[in-house]
Structure 1
């Protein structure tokens, strides 16, 4: 099997994540004005915010240089995970997880290129405690990393030594 054939499922997952992520961001940013909130449940709101930082608004107030760093990381990690997905030893679960992470990273990179910041719209909260706002790309990255952690922690079959008959 060629490297591209091994990579194809990962790219399909990544493209699906990018399409869902960008579609949801475009729809919500047009429907919900920036800074507005819509309560969906006692624990969930739709918000319309742009984050110049990374997870948990890390480096959001850094003055702009972080944009290049986050773009380089997104493209570098995406290239590295694509290379891993194309390797003969990558298993199906790994390839799927890599696709989720690559799609999420590139979905947020598209926002950084187009807007200079990432559009976030999901806000979960309990009382006065709130999780930082996030989007579908962030969710895909989180699920992809969780799948990889689960995959690497589970026991794997070890190859049996060739019989000496």
Structure 2
């Protein structure tokens, strides 16, 4: 299979997202020992706190059984393969980068599920007592990737210059 022009860069970006995501999680779990720290204020609107997410986005579809855990791993694997194929064929740079962000995040969260049985979430945004859900770098990459995909879709098929490289 011949890769579309933005595919190589996008696959490298996906790998970089994966590596940085896993490095932060390893640091949070084993170096900083976030589990024993509780909620750690970092900025007036940002704290670190360890949450084990056994579900999908926003903690939906919580899976407490081994069957549920491994079913979500299968979904991660299938989705990651499909996204990799899509990246290889994608000609729009914005969409290819969006897919790379999604892929890097999905693989990072999928590995968490394999290694720990749940996704490691640690970032909490808040405004006073009003809190948002706890997330990680992989989640942020996935959200940014979806936004870029939507941008690419709304923008159209792209210019002839972008398609040619």
Of 79, 82, 88, 1:80 maps to 82
Counterpart in 2 of 1:109? Answer: 110
Given the two structures, how large is their TM-score scaled by the length of structure 2?
0.85
Report the secondary structure of 2:124's partner residue.
strand
Structure number with higher helix proportion: 2
Instruction: Give distance in 2, aligned partners of 1:33 and 1:43.
Output: 18
Instruction: Quote how far apart the aligned CAs of 1:3 are.
Output: 2.7
Instruction: Quote how far apart the aligned CAs of 1:4 are.
Output: 7.7
Instruction: Quote how far apart the aligned CAs of 1:129 are.
Output: 2.2
Aligned Cα root-mean-square deviation (Å): 2.2
Instruction: Give distance in 2, aligned partners of 1:13 and 1:28.
Output: 22
Once superposed, which parts of structure 1, at least 4 consecutive aligned residues long, lie more than 6 Å away?
none
Q: Determine if contact 1:84/1:90 at 8 Å carries over to the other structure.
A: no
Instruction: Give distance in 2, aligned partners of 1:70 and 1:3.
Output: 29
Report the secondary structure of 2:135's partner residue.
coil
Instruction: Quote how far apart the aligned CAs of 1:147 are.
Output: 0.6
Counterpart in 2 of 1:8? Answer: 8
Counterpart in 2 of 1:124? Answer: 125
Unaligned residue ranges in structure 2 (runs of 5+): 161-165
Counterpart in 1 of 2:24? Answer: 24
Q: Determine if contact 1:59/1:66 at 8 Å carries over to the other structure.
A: no
Given the two structures, how large is their TM-score scaled by the length of structure 1?
0.85
Q: Determine if contact 2:105/2:142 at 8 Å carries over to the other structure.
A: yes
Aligned: 1:92 with 2:93: yes
Counterpart in 1 of 2:163? Answer: none
Report the secondary structure of 1:27's partner residue.
helix
Instruction: Quote how far apart the aligned CAs of 1:94 are.
Output: 1.4
Instruction: Quote how far apart the aligned CAs of 1:154 are.
Output: 2.1
Unaligned residue ranges in structure 1 (runs of 5+): 160-165
Instruction: Give distance in 2, aligned partners of 1:4 and 1:121.
Output: 36
Cα separation, partners in 2 of 1:127 and 1:94, compared to 1, 3 Å: same
Instruction: Quote how far apart the aligned CAs of 1:121 are.
Output: 0.7
Bigger Rg, which one: 1
